[in-house]
A and B are shown apart, each in its own frame.
Chain A
Amino acid sequence: MNGSLYPVAILFAAIFTNNILLTNYLGMCSFLSVSRELKTSVGLGVAVTFVMATTSVLNWLVYNKILVPLELEYLRFIVFIIVIAAFVQIVEMVIERVSETLYAALGIFLPLITVNCAILGVSLFMVIREYSFIESFTFGLGSGIGWFLAILAMAGIRQKLKKARLPKGLEGAGITLVITGMMAMAFMGFSGMINIG
């Protein structure tokens, strides 16, 4: 494939055809629990996109510049999770100092991000698929936007759904999963466009 086009292709593939939530099932826990309100979904979506794009770059540097030369690749799980947790902690402290309103809006979501498996998943996919620096960044950014898109759509649907009458057992997680399945089917319509492993 054309070298200069590839990172852009990864960006779009990560948003649509290889959506991290709908085709790789990552970040489901927070997706299911936070998608009740549109407002909170936006907060979490922004935080996830930002952290994903940044940690994919940081982890790429740490993995390729430190772990690979030292032949310590098997330590990547521990190192990646430390980088993510430390980064989230720093971001939280910076936001607290810089902007009170932003902290009030994002503050509660930042701890949730450390345990969001999509963030770690992006870094692990990046290693398996052997992405370059730029590709890792676009993959992280695209995955974040894709996740944001999915949770936004779900929150919108669920706000309308409050008025619907459902069978008792299907309330909450059940119906959310059914709708997610339908969204996954809709996103499968994009699959002819681009494909990344």
Chain B
Amino acid sequence: MVKGKLKKTFTDPLGKNNPVFAQILGICSTLAVTNKLENTVVMTLGVVFTTTLSSFVISLIRKWIPSRVRMMAETLIIASFVIIVDITLRAYMPDIWKQLGPYVGLIITNCIIMGRAEAFALNNTPGLSLIDGLASGIGYSYVLIIVAIFRELLGTGSLWGIKILGSWWTNWSIMIMPPGAFFMLAIFIWIVKGAIIPEKEEAKK
């Protein structure tokens, strides 16, 4: 029973309860940072770090947070972890930090983190919350990385800054501009919702 719950906590956010394509949360950063794979990977690491630890800490002190000020308390905990991410990035990867611009700070208002804190960490044990935060972070990360691979490859013909497609490739530069982000994510959601999720639901019935 305990083991079953543990496994469910970990696999749910990766599949049918994925924060990005099932719950439509955290869309802002999904669109903003996916024009370069390198930036995307750094950003996802930051988000995984923040979701995991903030879920853990919020769950640790959940019994002492008065319910009236809980949003404020959660935001403060999340913001503290984001400051750690921000300072670390600035120290070790100043170029990427510059390119990400305000989006590192905007991890604070990433709805996934607040969503998991509200929906899960307030009612579950610290250990379970840690796993839930980690899984939500990973569920978010792999969607971003897939979207980023397509956008960078189609938009610039390269991956991680290295030219992959030869000189015959004409850059499809709309892919790295804002409209491309919206279209790419829409197509991704369409494929996942249209082809993968409904089959499972019907199988249950």
Contact = CB atoms under 8 A, between A and B. Distances in A.
B165 interface: no
Interface string A156-197: 000000000001111011110110111011001000000000
A177 B83 contact: no
Interface string A64-81: 000000000011111001
Secondary structure of the B contact surface, majority rule: helix
B162 interface: no
B78 to A, nearest CB: 9
Nearest to B191: A169
Contact of B181 (A25, A82, A117, A168): A25
A74 B84 CA distance: 10
Given A85-B75, A185-B179, A188-B177, A124 B27 contact: no
Contacts, number: 126
A177 B72 CA distance: 31
B174 to A, nearest CB: 8
Contact of A29 (B108, B111, B177, B178): B111
A29 B111 CA distance: 8
Contacts of B142: none
B28 A29 contact: yes
A194 B110 CA distance: 30
Nearest to B109: A117
A151 interface: no
Contacts of A22: 178
A142 interface: no
Interface in B55-92: 71-72, 75-76, 79-80, 82-83, 86-87
A120 interface: yes
Given A114-B71, A167-B190, A120 B182 contact: no
B102 A128 contact: yes
Interface in B158-201: 174, 177-183, 185-186, 189-195, 198
Number of chain A interface residues as a range: 35 or more
B95 to A, nearest CB: 15
A81 B75 contact: yes
A98 to B, nearest CB: 23
B192 A177 contact: no
Nearest to A182: B179
A76 B174 CA distance: 34
B182 A177 contact: yes
Given A177-B183, A181-B179, A128 B101 contact: yes
B108 A81 contact: yes
B29 to A, nearest CB: 8
A60 to B, nearest CB: 15
Interface in B13-32: 24-29, 31-32
A125 to B, nearest CB: 6
B106 interface: yes
A168 B193 contact: yes
B31 A25 contact: yes
B189 A120 contact: no
Contacts of B114: 115
Contacts of A169: 189-195, 198
B127 interface: no
B65 to A, nearest CB: 15
B105 interface: yes
Nearest to B32: A25
Interface of A: 22-29, 32-33, 74-78, 81-82, 85, 114-117, 120-121, 124-125, 128, 167-170, 172-175, 177-178, 180-182, 184-185, 188
